[in-house]
Structure 1
Amino acid sequence: MQTREIPRGILGFPVTPMNDDLSIDYVAFQRNVEFLIENGLESVFIACGAGELHAIDNEEYEQLIIKAKEVVNGRVPIYTGVGGNITAALQQTKLSAKHQVDGYLILPPYLIEPSQDGIYEYVKTIAESTELNAIVYQRDNCTLTVDTLKKLAEIPQLKGFKDGVGNIEVNVEFTQALGDRFVWINGMPLAEVTMPTYVHIGYDTYSSAISNYIPYVSKQYFEALQNGDKQKVSEIYEDIIFPIHNIRRQKKGYAVSLIKAGMQIVGLPVSTNVRPPIAPVEPEHYEALKAIIAKAEEKYGNLKGDGSYVSN
């Protein structure tokens, strides 16, 4: 029987690069995945929010899985994104199982604001549709109570909980009630901002958008946080995290397009093209990000010839 790994540490979320005609650039996608692995990311989550799951069809979805598996070659766990339309989600879980990935992240249902029993049935139906590992992503139209999460904990395929809401009181309830039943993942926008708080309530894993272009910053930040190096954490906040966070808050959709901009700035073969309704980064924000990355490279790392980084 296949042993499926549970992701921990810093999780990598590659983008879905687009050509000028908005077709998928699979070569650039594979370079993105390889870059994350080269730089120590311990898993890759493809076709999730950063990967524009909302904007790709099943044929493209399957090709992304195939191309990711070619690159990963068993080195780290592969997870996919599933969700939105329940029918589409079940097609996605079927494709994920067909290609034997480790599991999938269950994104919220589209449009509908369901009741707790509705959310339960949505997550349960998706999680039980295969034997793959499942992680539920709490955000938007999928906000759980502790009683609902306890019921979901009875589903053996459900291995993790990712929070994108940020209600610390509720998260304390969750971790106290369920302990080590789940891998607890911080999925807040630019998770580095909130990770110190999450660590103290039992979250030891987070998704890192900036790892797509400055992974050495994420690594040094998390190591400093784990080692109690408050000065280093504070410096990275002031130099890198807060400035990027401030740009990201300027426009909806920057959760995706700002990542692509950062990747282009560091020389990865990724354009800033995104599919509607996401809009590309404004020129002034692009230049501001460029300046932040230059400071990051000067103070925290440097770029090697193969496109990966070493820390200073």
Structure 2
Amino acid sequence: MERKAPAGILGFPVSPFTRENTLDENALAKNIEFLIDEGLDAIFVACGAGEFNSLNRQEYEESVQLAVSVVKGRVPVYTGVGGVISEALEQSKISERLGADGYLILPPYLVDSEQDGLYEYYRVLAQSTSLNTIVYQRGNAVLQLQTLKRLLDIPQVVGLKDGLGNMEMNIEFTQTIGCRLGWLNGMPMAEVTMPSYRPLGYNSYSSAISNYIPHISRMFYNSLINGDKETVHALFQDVVLPINKIRRQKKGYAVSLIKAGMEIVGLPVSNTVRPPVIPVELEHYKQLEKILESTFNKYPLDSKVY
């Protein structure tokens, strides 16, 4: 197994729910296939955007199995594991058994732990299988440099995803550890911060908008890599910052706004979420519609249609 974290634009599919609040497997399969067709570099299923916290064991297993079967080895498939450690260990075993390439270790359930406790949490989960693992820096899971360096002794640990946004800490991490880890930008609406992350060594990010306007994600990232500041600025003004402004209106919009965008462009998902996440309100839904209409007019698809 190649001990390397995926790079590029990372796809985090949502978990589509029916009106009866059950997992819509057909819609999930189509959504994953859409991301693959649009050239995303990895699929992370049953993670934060997939409302990991609300999936029962059967739904989790169905999601992983479906993702692996749809992707068919074309790109790496990662899963989300975390929360209650006994359940996280079951999830890691499911991921290995069903053929995933690795998993993203989400923060532990509620507890604000000492560094030794966080180390043990990540160590136990990373060593529970042979799969690649990426540790997630977010919420109550905030690693110090020495703790992260201890985790480097575990070959399964291949990357760190940052959802914290502490740039001083990111500089310390990347400039001390270097290429031993893959560095993933996991901030909400990661396009907003990617220009600051990339010079530090972060060469991948989770793109929420890639679920419904992946051609914009690709245009943005390619422009950033190629130093096309004019296009980056234009995409910020026309698309990224306006959508981010809506996202910041309500807690939970980091998930539900994705579903709203997908529904607007005609993908098979409804604006249905599970508590405590709330659906996008009508006013904000209409605002997103206008932004997307303007986006497709100014930045049309080359040949593909939704």
Calculate the TM-score normalised by the size of structure 1: 0.96
Describe the superposition over 1:110-150 as per-residue Cα deviations: whole angstroms up to 9, x where unpaired: 11111111110000010000000000010001001111111
Tell me by how many angstroms 1:3 deviates: 4.9
- Partner Cα separation in structure 1 for residue 154 and residue 19 of structure 2: 43
In structure 2, what is the equivalent of residue 246 of structure 1?
245
In structure 2, what is the equivalent of residue 184 of structure 1?
183
Describe the superposition over 1:252-303 as per-residue Cα deviations: whole angstroms up to 9, x where unpaired: 0001100000000000010111111111000000001111111111111238
Partner letter of residue 16 of structure 1? S
Corresponding position: 1:112 with 2:135: no
| Pair 1:306–1:31, CA change in 2 (3 A) | farther
- Partner Cα separation in structure 2 for residue 5 and residue 52 of structure 1: 26
In structure 2, what is the equivalent of residue 61 of structure 1?
60
Corresponding position: 1:153 with 2:152: yes
In structure 2, what is the equivalent of residue 169 of structure 1?
168
In structure 2, what is the equivalent of residue 15 of structure 1?
14
- Partner SS for 1:301: coil
Give the aligned length. 306
In structure 1, what is the equivalent of residue 93 of structure 2?
94
Contact persistence 1:5–1:102 (CA under 8 A): no
Tell me by how many angstroms 1:58 deviates: 1.1
Partner letter of residue 144 of structure 1? L
- Partner Cα separation in structure 2 for residue 241 and residue 3 of structure 1: 34
Partner letter of residue 264 of structure 1? E
- For structure 1, the 5+ residue unaligned runs are 308-312
Partner letter of residue 153 of structure 2? E
In structure 1, what is the equivalent of residue 268 of structure 2?
269
- Partner Cα separation in structure 1 for residue 303 and residue 163 of structure 2: 34
- Partner Cα separation in structure 1 for residue 305 and residue 247 of structure 2: 28
Tell me by how many angstroms 1:176 deviates: 0.9
- Partner Cα separation in structure 2 for residue 261 and residue 303 of structure 1: 23
Q: How does 1:1-312 map onto structure 2 within 5 Å?
A: 2-3=1-2, 6-302=5-301, 307=306
Contact persistence 2:171–2:200 (CA under 8 A): yes
- Partner Cα separation in structure 2 for residue 4 and residue 122 of structure 1: 21
Calculate the TM-score normalised by the size of structure 2: 0.98
Contact persistence 2:3–2:158 (CA under 8 A): no
- For structure 2, the 5+ residue unaligned runs are none
Partner letter of residue 96 of structure 1? S
Of all paired residues, the percent bearing the same amino acid is 55
